[in-house]
Amino acid sequence: MTRRTSALLLTLKTLRSQGPVVIVCQFCKIKEYAGTRSLSNSMYATRILINSDVEEITQFHERLLPEDRNTMFNPVVGRALLTTSPIEAAFSKWALSPVDLLQHSGNSDTICVIAQVLQVNKEKGWYKIEVIVSDESGIANLTVFDCDAFNYLGITATDLGVESVKNVEDNDGWPKKLDSFVGKKFIFKVGIKVS
């Protein structure tokens, strides 16, 4: 627990001993992660008002019923403080497998592999990017779709196409940003679809 969180909990305990605590969050969003909901900063503009001297908060305080005032305050944050990142959670249910296991998998299997990109297959186009990957067990061709490529490249396939057309003399119609996959290691969560 951080020093700031500890100080906030101490403040809330102190306020709670003085009566009901009203917390107003402005410009925040509710996120759900690993089955737990939490509040998150929104656009670095979130404001938190705790028992502030604001007319609406004062009116809310005055309208509280006696049974509302006896709600237990639990200072234990518990599951809200998760130790894994969203990226780690995306792979938490999957063991890493060797690349050669992809060839022996059945339809609808999901397998995670850690592999290095050897090259991007330019013959397949770039809306569905085919990468050739390898690890010590073998080589495989994987398709990286637009939304996943965007997470790495920071540009959509449409914008990549527009950029490629603008610079057609420099790149032979091939977006140079796609070459940034080459030589990098990634964890691929592969959904097997046999056609």
Ordered structural domains, the chain, with CATH: 3-80 (no CATH), 94-191 (2.40.50.140)
C-alpha–C-alpha distance, residues 100 and 120, integer Å: 19
Are 86 and 158 a contacting pair, CB within 8 Å? no
Reported as a single tens digit per residue, the pLDDT across 130-184 is 899 999 999 999 988 887 888 888 888 788 878 777 766 665 667 888 888 999 9
Are 138 and 169 a contacting pair, CB within 8 Å? no
Q: Assess whether pLDDT exceeds 80 at residue 3.
A: no
Give the residue among 189, 169, 159, 164 at the shortest CA–CA distance from 179: 164
Reported as a single tens digit per residue, the pLDDT across 85-114 is 666 666 667 778 889 888 888 888 888 888
Q: What is the pLDDT at residue 80?
A: 42
**Mean pLDDT, all residues of the chain:** 76
Q: What is the pLDDT at residue 183?
A: 93
Q: Assess whether pLDDT exceeds 60 at residue 71.
A: no
Q: What is the pLDDT at residue 133?
A: 93
Q: Assess whether pLDDT exceeds 60 at residue 47.
A: yes
Confidence category of residue 117, pLDDT binned at 50, 70, 90: very high
Percentage of the chain beyond pLDDT 90 is: 10
C-alpha–C-alpha distance, residues 127 and 168, integer Å: 17
C-alpha–C-alpha distance, residues 61 and 59, integer Å: 5
What's the mean pLDDT in 74-93?
54
